[in-house]
């Protein structure tokens, strides 16, 4: 069987410096899948966790990192569905893993035809980010027009998408937290957030309550976990929803956490993930993403690529993501 190049992890897990490009067996398509020759792939926080052996990888995922990519269809197996994909089509999509490579096998339900106005780099950074934001806001958060939203990690790729989707869907106000004034300014001036708060210098939950005249916000999307748990309960409005997407600060709550707001405010706290979902669920979100494509073209929704690395520099790309200075997607190009 022919071999391809792919990123591997020395020892199976480790720091960024353990990443290297090696040769693996070229994937083969199952029925309903396409083989895509990858042009670019996007980095995500889960890649860092998986690299360190701290991410529960779904059983159907190959060990190679990476869940979003752009590229060209080399071959198909079976019915390509309503999209009528053909060999040579330029596409981008979401996978359970395997995108840090020259080729990937992916279910055609998770592919979209790449519009000509999107570069390979832009397209590679769309699927995981925009689908996750859509899932958090609409499916889990059950957003309706007129509600207020708080996106933590405001300059992260998911929140950059989420702020714009909140605005597009008619949010009454959109708040963010970030660790620098430049990131806050970016979210307010570039993306249209109502206001932002610096978690390093401000008590953001008190600031949220002050900004909302004590009401709080209807939907909170959090990636931080432990350090923000109490603040989220305090900042949530009555009948509010807290959507938990990650635990960057840890999972064990500190002593003295007051959970009374759950009862007093009738709050709902719900965790969610995307990668562990079945392809039918992911496919419905992919269809929602397809509806956004005209908005990308007319400029209503903006894509932000922070830095592009050649995949031979994947170690530097991971280190850059770990530095938490980016505003937008970090992309690697293949070939």
DSSP 88: T
CB-based contacts of 90: which residues, under 8 Å, 6+ apart?
Answer: 70, 71, 72, 113, 114
Backbone φ/ψ region at 173: left (φ over 0), alpha (ψ -120 to 50), beta: beta
- CA–CA separation, 8 and 24 (whole Å): 9
Distances (CA, A) of 317 to 86, 259, 311: 33, 39, 8
100 close to 332: Cβ distance less than 8 angstroms: yes
- CA–CA separation, 237 and 83 (whole Å): 42
Burial of 218 (0-12, 13-18, 19+ CB in 10 A): buried
DSSP 252: S
Please give the chain's pLDDT, 335 residues, in tens. 579 999 999 999 999 999 999 999 999 999 999 999 999 999 999 999 999 998 888 888 999 999 999 999 999 998 877 778 999 999 999 999 999 999 999 999 999 999 999 999 999 999 999 999 999 999 999 999 999 999 999 999 999 999 999 999 999 999 999 999 999 999 999 999 999 999 999 999 999 999 999 999 999 999 999 999 999 999 999 999 999 999 989 999 999 999 999 999 999 999 998 888 988 999 899 999 999 999 999 999 999 999 999 999 999 999 999 998 888 999 999 98
Please give the full DSSP string across 96-112, using - where no structure is assigned.
Answer: SS--SBSEEEEEGGGEE
Greatest alpha-carbon span in the chain:
65
Domains plus CATH for the chain?
A: 3-126+275-333 (3.90.180.10), 131-271 (3.40.50.720)
140 close to 270: Cβ distance less than 8 angstroms: yes
Look up the pTM and report it. Answer: 0.92
């Amino acid at each position: 069987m022919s071999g391809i190049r792919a990123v591997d992890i020395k020892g199976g897990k480790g720091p960024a410096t353990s990443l290297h490009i090696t040769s693996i067996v070229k994937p083969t398509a199952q029925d309903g899948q396409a083989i895509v020759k990858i042009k670019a792939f996007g980095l995500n926080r889960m890649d860092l966790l998986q690299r360190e052996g701290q991410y529960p990888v779904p059983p159907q995922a190959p060990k190679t990192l990476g869940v979003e990519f752009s590229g060209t269809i080399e071959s198909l197996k079976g019915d390509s569905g309503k999209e009528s994909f053909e060999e040579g089509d330029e596409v981008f999509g979401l996978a359970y893993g395997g995108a840090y490579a020259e080729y990937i096998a992916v279910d055609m339900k998770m592919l979209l035809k790449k519009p000509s106005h999107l570069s390979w780099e832009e397209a590679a950074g769309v699927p995981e980010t925009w689908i996750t934001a859509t899932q958090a806001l609409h499916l889990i958060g059950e957003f309706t027009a007129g509600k207020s939203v708080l996106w933590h990690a405001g300059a992260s790729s998911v929140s950059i998408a989420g702020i714009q989707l909140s605005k597009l869907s008619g949010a009454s106000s959109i708040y963010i937290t970030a660790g620098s004034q430049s990131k806050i300014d970016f979210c307010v001036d570039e993306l249209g957030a109502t206001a932002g708060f610096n978690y390093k210098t401000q008590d953001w939950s008190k600031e949220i309550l002050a900004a909302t005249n004590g009401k709080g916000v209807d939907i909170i999307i959090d990636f931080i976990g432990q350090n923000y748990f109490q603040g989220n309960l305090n900042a949530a409005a009555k009948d509010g929803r807290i959507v938990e997407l990650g635990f960057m600060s840890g999972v064990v709550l500190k002593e003295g956490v007051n959970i009374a707001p759950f009862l007093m405010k009738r709050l709902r706290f719900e965790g969610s993930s995307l990668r562990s979902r079945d392809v039918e669920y992911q496919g419905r979100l992919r269809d929602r993403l397809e509806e956004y494509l005209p908005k990308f073209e007319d400029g209503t929704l903006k894509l932000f690529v922070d830095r592009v690395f050649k995949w031979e520099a994947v170690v530097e790309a991971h280190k850059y993501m770990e530095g938490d200075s980016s505003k937008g997607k970090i992309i690697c190009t293949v070939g």
